[in-house]
A and B are shown apart, each in its own frame.
Chain A
């Protein structure tokens, strides 16, 4: 309307101008007469006033002769021609400059103009999925809608309070996120993530209320099973500056990471980051001076990351975790409030495949997908929450306690310190290293005469103290440690997970170094140290995965396979196998079968001779060979249980139905490993075999 009015005024003026032009000639003389009368009147008046007040500083000179006049005209002509020359020169200069800019340097300026308006936007590649051994999705991607705000949002109080009440996020939080520079220097900042469909519809329908807000759809990590196997799978988060620098310096890294990229931060997500990441695509766009996209031009499609198939069976994992967590909750309810943490591992001895790997307490990896809050992060890294981010199955160091006894017995047998026929007399108190070094057996009344199998079954310390004495007196003083190391203790198992611990096998050298602050006498290796490592106490430390591997070795007659989690790598979204894991024999230990029989007899006795202790296991159809242990710490007691399960009593040769497992609970003061962990093992076994039954029936 306003525009129209202006145009109308313009047109009327135009017509007026034409009328003036046309009729000007006709009425010119009249108008001019009037005008000149008025103007000369004004002029005369002004001159009078002017003369009265101001000194006359101009007088006319009209005394030039005719010839002089001509000369002057000529002079002025020359100067006008001179001016014309100057004018021409100015235009020639402009012409030359235009020539240079538009014809000679055109390409360069075009490039600059292109650079001005072109931007490349990174299109993140969908991250590879993580599947269990039966192809069920453990970690996948789902579309998520983020609210993006431009800088104007910060100053718009009405808009931010509206959005705040719509989404239920405090205004301050929204504004803080809009100002956050760590998201990079892009024009739009994400201020709310993963909003619901209803909220999206509302914002889209009321765009006039939210002028500085746009919605962006992207994919984010989704965990269908929630916290299940959280430590093993790991979590993702934006790459940090340090990580970015490390990646840039790493010559083996072929992925071009940029700030803001989502990368694996722990577990499988971190270990297989390069497999899962994929290759980001590029979208070239045209932008305006405000940085708003005006047009999309060419693009390069992202290449999605590859899918990973784990050896993990989610049903077994679920059963194990539930059993472990239930037991821990039970213990807490019974007053053992510090009993919060533990772990469980199930390994297939024939291949090293990890069928289940649990660590308690657990966490929700989904809290990390949109950036974790400082409060949450601090809580997850506090003793209050018992450090749920730590994968205790591979990173936890524990004293192995009695669970190491079968290996100690094997060492004694191998080095000839004992024979399968050896017997020992347990009186409850042992003074083999002198009266002043007297040590108690766990049964203060004494076990009486014990052979090696009985020693294992009853967990009789005296049997192993005698073996320790035997080693200290023999020429193979480090026989225990050599055997432990041969079975993979004191070193990483090299399972495909980050942050694995190697544990610790103490010997004279280690003690010297470790206790360098102590006196020479105190840090010397003493006979008592042999006794300590024989029963897995003192400074000896193992990880749950190492224990599980040793029992897998027992089940497999001394052949220990490299434990692994990733079975296959598949092309994204398909079943095309790119990489297939082949079981790798890691330690091949020669054991006489009679020695192994002694050990297995002992382990059999643990379950079936003291059935009250290991109740749920003694009654299941499968045969279980196991060993409990109670680690002693200054800080608390650790309960351990390791076992082999198979369909055959002696498990002479591992078959498709055998599994090795280890269970550990920390800070279990006042609790006993048998009643605490055997029910967990029983539930795990039932899940494992229920699986196989259905499998065999379906096949």
Chain B
């Protein structure tokens, strides 16, 4: 009785609750809170981790998110080409002398006054919207091979531009979410399987070339080591193996309940490098243990599944593709980032959504939430 009563109450609560899909928002807000707490705890011992900066980043992101919530994202499907051009411009910005600058071997940042942005982060969202805008026209059925190839080419453009930086991690995120979106746009499975087989052959060929003496080494030895170091971190302490080992120790020593907030000996004493950015999950898991980690994973899972459920509820192919793309991005980033901390995945510099220190990532993730809610809010207008 009480449940139905609650539902009725809820429905009569007013327009605000009707316009917002709470299931896809609550876990994200919880994750943002956890992320801010984690950054705060990291700021206790890591000088570069500034809680106030992260907080400002979140507030700015919130503004952008709210703006997108009010904006009718469905309109995007009408200017696919604009999105493509924006995407290309964003990814070329870091290469422009004067505003672009390099750090850690990546030409991936743009400096505008005091602000530092990583354009490849917003480029993810732009790519999602762009691909959805292009693929929406097929209404879930890509029957001509020509069309399929076109979608692939559109995906390859931002992917190649990111590889120019060169940021393999973000490139793979875009590649993965694009591939998922193409699959969900209704391309025949046999084409997809052929494409995947060709890709596997290509990668295998590149790797084979690189490890066989005499053939041109497309990938340098250190790059291959960096990709395979997660399988045997002790043997390659120099190539990131140390970081990985320390991350695993941090996660493992957290135990069931964790060491408590501020007691992360691995991160606080500096054993765990990049504890506030790439390895923030290790910091979190050390402080909050298995219980906290499971809570975190559950929130991510809830967010993804709720968003996918929403995709099933919406009838617009554009909205479905955008939602699928966002979920694909989250899943890839979460699995790669946490998997890296657990020694399941190679070491790459992909941030953990909502958690990692960095305003660009926060901006994009909150914007995604805005886009999702906007798609939900404006669904009825589309039907009408």
Contact = CB atoms under 8 A, between A and B. Distances in A.
A160 to B, nearest CB: 26
B252 A294 contact: no
Given A7-B55, A101-B342, A72 B186 contact: yes
A3 B49 CA distance: 12
A36 B74 CA distance: 11
Contacts of B67: 20
B139 A72 contact: yes
Contact of A286 (B81, B252, B269): B269
A102 B137 contact: no
B253 A97 contact: no
A16 B59 CA distance: 9
A290 B308 CA distance: 46
Contacts of A208: none
A73 to B, nearest CB: 6
Scoring A60, A83, A108, A117 by chain B CB atoms within 10 A of each residue's CB, the highest score goes to A83
Interface string A627-660: 0000000000000000000000000000000000
A185 to B, nearest CB: 17
Contacts of B289: 102
A90 B62 CA distance: 29
Nearest to A77: B312
Nearest to B269: A288
A106 B332 CA distance: 27
Nearest to A45: B82
A294 B269 contact: yes
B59 A11 contact: yes
Interface string A57-71: 110111010001100
B271 interface: yes
B249 interface: yes
B79 A98 contact: no
B305 A84 contact: yes
**Interface residue tally of chain B, by bracket?**
35 or more
Interface stretch (B27-35, B213-221, B293-301): B293-301
B138 interface: yes
Contacts of B256: 102-103, 106
Interface residues of A, number: 74
B290 A80 contact: no
Interface stretch (B117-125, B167-175, B323-331): B323-331
Query: Main SS of the interface on chain A?
Result: helix
A201 interface: no
Contacts of B339: 93-94, 97
A14 to B, nearest CB: 4
A10 B59 contact: yes
B137 A58 contact: yes
A113 B293 contact: no
B227 interface: no
Contact of B52 (A10, A75, A97, A110): A10
A106 B52 contact: no
Interface string A189-230: 000000000000000000000000000000000000000000
B69 interface: yes
Interface in A127-161: none
Contacts, number: 222
A2 to B, nearest CB: 9
B63 A94 contact: no
Given A57-B150, A83-B324, A94-B338, A109 B253 contact: yes
Given A80-B320, A95-B294, 18 more contacts: A6-B56, A7-B56, A9-B59, A10-B59, A13-B63, A16-B59, A25-B15, A42-B82, A69-B140, A72-B140, A87-B305, A97-B344, A105-B252, A109-B251, A112-B252, A117-B265, A289-B269, A290-B270
Interface of B: 15-16, 50, 52-53, 55-56, 58-60, 62-63, 65-67, 69-72, 75, 78-79, 81-82, 85, 134, 137-141, 143, 147, 150, 180, 183-186, 246, 248-256, 265-266, 268-271, 285, 289-290, 293-294, 297, 300-301, 304-305, 308, 311-312, 315, 317, 320, 324, 327-328, 331, 334-335, 338-339, 342-344
Interface of A: 3, 6-7, 9-14, 16-17, 20-21, 24-25, 28, 31-32, 35-36, 39-40, 42-43, 46-47, 50, 57-58, 60-62, 64, 68-69, 72-73, 75-77, 79-81, 83-84, 86-88, 90-91, 93-95, 97-99, 101-103, 105-106, 108-110, 112-113, 116-117, 286-290, 294
26 contacts: A6-B53, A16-B63, A17-B63, A20-B67, A20-B70, A24-B69, A25-B16, A42-B82, A46-B82, A72-B141, A73-B315, A76-B140, A77-B312, A79-B186, A84-B305, A84-B308, A94-B335, A98-B290, A101-B342, A105-B252, A112-B249, A113-B253, A116-B266, A116-B271, A288-B268, A289-B270
